[in-house]
Amino acid sequence: MTKIKTHFQCDNCNYNTVKWLGCCPGCKQWETFQEITETKTAKRGLASLDLVSIHSVPQSKNITMVSNIPEWDRVLGGGIIAGSFLVLTGDPGIGKSTLLLQVSNNIAKKQKVFYFSSEESLQQVKNRAERLECINENLLFSDTANLESIIAIAQKEKPDLLIIDSIQNCYTSQTQTVPGSIGQLRESAFLLMRLAKESDIATIVSGHITKEGNIAGPKTLEHIVDGVFYLQGEDRWQTRILRSVKNRFGTINELGFFQMTQSGLQEMPNINQHLIDQVSHSPGSVLVSFIEGSRPLLLELQALTISSKLGIPQRVVSGIDHKQVVLLAAILEKYLQIKLSTHDIFFKVGGGFKVKGSSTDLGIALALLSSYFQQPIPHKSIALGEISLTGHIKPINQIGMHIKEAEKFGIKQIFVSKDQKIEKTKSSIKRFCNVYELLSLFENV
Ligand code: TYD
Ligand code: MG
């Protein structure tokens, strides 16, 4: 006789208890406990199993499905690997379904793709597919949300790629928890992961994110899947950024750039051209290069320093570590005797990007000085250096990659440490030993 056991589990942090509790001792959230009835789950693993020698394991298909949308393929690590289980997440309306449909359509030119649109009716999907001209014999749709039906048809028909849009809208009868709960999400993800691995069917699920920007279902999905990709919006140019935050088959923090247009997501392979076009040749603006994933982004740092009207001057910083800016302001004040401590400092990274690490130190210092002295930095220049607490300018890594990218977009002058090793380049290289020497870029100071 199968014994049915029940216990209660916190939706938020998975804390287990035999009795229902109002407040979770684990995460202190209220009313998060769900009753879990263990029936089928308890039987898992009891079946007899065969151990095998590694020789007898069949070779995996080892297929990489290339979409020929290079911004997507690069972020994925070359394409979608057969049998991988991936999640694409982002705010509602950001373009997840659009992107998944465009990718599915391209892959369906060679492979068999099943698209389960649990979130939208087939009529809605048809409207989108017609608008995007994503019509293909090998791309088949269903709007069922029943996971058992999805798995059964996938096991029978063996598509190469399965899209579940979205996983939060699917339900499974393998768990007694209510549809939409974390218990359902966890069980659904587990079943799909088994399907992907056992049947070698690549599976991409879309997932919502919470207000805080995490995938709904705290970390549950992230641990199970092979890759997590975020689609984020950058409202300035209707830009959409695809970012890998976990990828068993590629680099993390790899970025792909798209623009939302009337006919779907268009790639923006020349993102650096866009970024450079936005740069103003004004006091406080300095160009730096920052490596995200595998490629450098040419970003404008913008500083505004202004004599403070308040007792405690303001430091308002976005896109960069606040402490890094404050520290560099202190270094400049100490060694150059300039009165930044009586100035408000406003600092941001152009295009809404975020940068971190010390390779942008020199750029930050020059932006602060440029605004303070109200003089622009020479046009078509880029700053690539670290600054130590003693005010020395230090070399940075991968300088060749930064310079190559900068030169591609018309940069003519490069500011670096005097100790920076640089292979032959056509740009003019200006070397600095310490922060005093930065003053040579400004007149009458
Ligand atoms: P969608 O892919 O449905 O977003 P998600 O699945 O992340 O919720 O995208 C919805 C938005 O994109 C909607 O506001 C309309 C817009 N859109 C376009 O601008 N152009 C297009 O070609 C398509 C299909 C959608
Ligand atoms: Mg959608």
In a structure prediction context, what are the per-residue pLDDT tens digits for the chain, which is 445 residues long?
A: 455 678 888 877 778 888 888 888 887 878 778 787 765 544 455 667 889 899 888 776 678 999 999 999 999 999 999 999 999 999 889 999 999 999 999 999 999 999 999 999 999 999 999 999 999 999 999 999 999 999 999 999 999 999 999 898 898 888 777 777 778 888 899 999 999 999 999 999 998 876 666 666 656 688 889 999 999 886 666 789 999 999 999 888 899 999 999 999 999 888 899 889 889 889 999 999 999 888 899 999 999 999 999 889 999 999 999 999 999 999 999 999 999 999 999 999 988 888 999 999 999 999 999 999 999 999 999 999 999 999 999 999 999 999 999 999 999 999 999 999 999 888 999 999 999 999 999 998 8
66: left (phi over 0), alpha (psi -120 to 50) or beta: beta
pLDDT given for residue 42 in this prediction: 47
pLDDT given for residue 289 in this prediction: 96
The β-bridge partners of 392 are 434
For residue 130, the Cα-to-chain-centroid distance in whole angstroms is: 29
Residue 120 CA: nearest ligand 1 atom is 3
Q: What's the CA-to-centroid distance between 89 and ligand 1, angstroms? A: 14
Site of tokens 């130190």: 361
CB 261 within 8 A of CB 287: no
**Closest by CA position to 206, among listed 101, 65, 132:** 101
Residue nearest to atom 23 of ligand 1 (CA): 264
CB 105 within 8 A of CB 263: no
pLDDT given for residue 3 in this prediction: 59
pLDDT given for residue 298 in this prediction: 95
The model's pTM is: 0.79
**Closest by CA position to 314, among listed 306, 230, 381:** 306
Q: What's the CA-to-centroid distance between 229 and ligand 2, angstroms? A: 15
Residue 132 CA: nearest ligand 1 atom is 22
**Buried/exposed 196-232: b ≥16 CB within 10 Å, e otherwise:** beeebbbbbbbbbbeeeeebbbbebbbeebbbbbbbb
CB 258 within 8 A of CB 265: yes
The β-bridge partners of 434 are 392
Ligand nearest to the CA of 94: 1
